[in-house]
Amino acid sequence: MSQLQARDLTRSYGRTPALRGVTLDVDEGEIVAVTGPSGCGKSTLLHCLAGILRPDAGEVIWRGERLDTRPEADRSRLRRTEFGVLFQFGQLVAELTAAENVALPLLLAGTGRRAARETALSWLERFGVAELADVRPGEMSGGQQQRCATARSLVTGPRVLFADEPTGALDTLTGEQVLTTLVRLAREQRTSVVLVTHEPRIAAYADREVTLRDGAVEHSGLELNVPSTGGAR
Ligand SMILES: Nc1ncnc2c1ncn2[C@@H]1O[C@H](COP(=O)(O)OP(=O)(O)OP(=O)(O)O)[C@@H](O)[C@H]1O
- Write the pLDDT tens digit of every residue in 113-130: 999 999 999 999 999 999
Q: Is 75 in the pocket of ligand 1 (CB under 6 A)?
A: no
pLDDT, position 229: 42
Q: Is 117 in the pocket of ligand 1 (CB under 6 A)?
A: no
Contact 111, 146 (CB under 8 A): no
pLDDT, position 228: 40
Higher-confidence residue of 171 and 43: namely 43
Please tell me the number of Cα atoms within 13 Å of 190 on its side-chain side: 4
How far is residue 61's CA from residue 69's CA, in Å, rounded to a whole number? Answer: 10
Residue 11's nearest CA partner among 210, 214, 215 is 215
Burial state string for 36-66 with b = 16 or more CB within 10 A and e = fewer than 16: beeebbbbbbbbbbbbbbebeebebbbeeee
What is the ipTM for the molecules in this complex? 0.97
Residue 6's nearest CA partner among 16, 21, 17 is 21
Taking the whole predicted model, whether its pTM rises above 0.95 is answered as: no
**Ligand 1, residues 34, 38, 44: which to mutate, most atoms within 8 A of Cβ?**
44
Q: Is 43 in the pocket of ligand 1 (CB under 6 A)?
A: yes
Contact 98, 135 (CB under 8 A): yes
Residue 15's SS3 state is coil
Domain 1-82+158-224: state its class. Answer: alpha beta
How far is residue 61's CA from residue 70's CA, in Å, rounded to a whole number? Answer: 11
